[in-house]
Amino acid sequence: MASGSGDATSASASSSFSRIFTAAIAVFTELDVLLNLVSIGTLFVFYMVANAVIYRRYVAIGTTNPWPTMSFLCSFSMTSIIFTLIWKFVPTGNAKAGLLSGCAVIAVGILQVFQCMVPQARKPEFWGVPLMPWIPSFSIFLNVFLLGSLDGPSYLRFAFFSALAVLFYVFYSVHASFDAQAHGSLLQKITYDHPHVEPMEFQDLTFKV
């Protein structure tokens, strides 16, 4: 039971720290800065999910070659980035319209070639994203375009907090995951060795072992 109370105390302390940290950010940070940070994180996650949907549909590990799909994802993302940069920095005029049209034609061509040349490695049995790879590719383009509308300082803040999150994961979360896995394995062993022990008694047995 001592272990259970310790876990509860640790969880309560972590929750209190999160609330205090969130409140401090809200007090000392402007709303626009927070909105941009949230927008970057959300759009980046959506961008990664769209890439993952295409990769998952067209690549089966050990069966298909992942390089055609990876090449498509990189080239399409690069074309989307170039389109966004032209839209944001090139002055309005015929040159801008021509460059944007060229990027659009290249993006559609890349999509068409990929669809014709690379077969899908798997198709969902019940339901899946339709019109592959057009819909997730449009999501990739849209998210890149929206990310390009945000300002530079927001990206610096996003990079800073992302680096902090990675450091936290490397130095704490990885070890906590291994500890949790070891704890789960120990509970399974106790369940196998003591089949008549009630679940509420696992903590006592774990503590004694």
In the prediction, which pLDDT does 117 show? 93
State pTM to two decimals: 0.69
Alpha helices, DSSP H, located in the chain: 2-28, 31-58, 67-89, 94-117, 134-147, 152-168, 174-193, 202-208
Contact by Cβ (8 Å): 40, 150: yes
Q: Radius of gyration (Cα) for the chain, nearest Å? A: 25
Confidence of residue 159 (pLDDT cuts 50, 70, 90): confident
- Picking from 201, 34, 51, 59, the residue whose alpha carbon sits closest to that of residue 137 is 51
Q: Spell 70-80 as b/e; 16+ CB within 10 A means b.
A: eebbeebbebb
85 or 169: whose pLDDT is higher?
Answer: 85
Asked if 89 and 111 sit in the same domain, the reply is yes
What are 173's two structure tokens? 């979360």
Cα angle, residue 166 at apex, residues 173 and 21 outer, rounded to 5°: 80
Asked if 146 and 84 sit in the same domain, the reply is yes
| For residue 120, pLDDT beyond 70 | yes
Confidence of residue 179 (pLDDT cuts 50, 70, 90): low
207 or 13: whose pLDDT is higher?
Answer: 13
Asked if 162 and 124 sit in the same domain, the reply is no
What is the C-alpha separation between 37 and 33, in angstroms, rounded? Answer: 6
102 or 1: whose pLDDT is higher?
Answer: 102
What are 205's two structure tokens? 């047995």
Least confidently predicted of 23-27, 61-65, 101-105: 23-27
In the prediction, which pLDDT does 131 show? 86
What is the C-alpha separation between 37 and 40, in angstroms, rounded? Answer: 5
What is the C-alpha separation between 52 and 133, in angstroms, rounded? Answer: 11
In the prediction, which pLDDT does 172 show? 73
Confidence of residue 68 (pLDDT cuts 50, 70, 90): very high
The answer as to whether 96 is a domain residue is yes
The answer as to whether 38 is a domain residue is yes
Structural domain count of the chain: 2
Asked if 158 and 126 sit in the same domain, the reply is no
Calculate the CA 36 to chain-centre distance. Answer: 17
Confidence of residue 163 (pLDDT cuts 50, 70, 90): confident
Percent of the chain with pLDDT over 90: 40
Supply the range of the domain harboring residue 43: 15-150
- Picking from 115, 117, 131, 120, the residue whose alpha carbon sits closest to that of residue 64 is 120
Asked if 113 and 190 sit in the same domain, the reply is no
Q: Spell 183-207 as b/e; 16+ CB within 10 A means b.
A: eeeeeeebeeeeeeeeeeebbebee
In the prediction, which pLDDT does 35 show? 78
- Hey, which of 18-32, 50-64, 149-163 has the most confident mean pLDDT? 50-64
| For residue 194, pLDDT beyond 80 | no
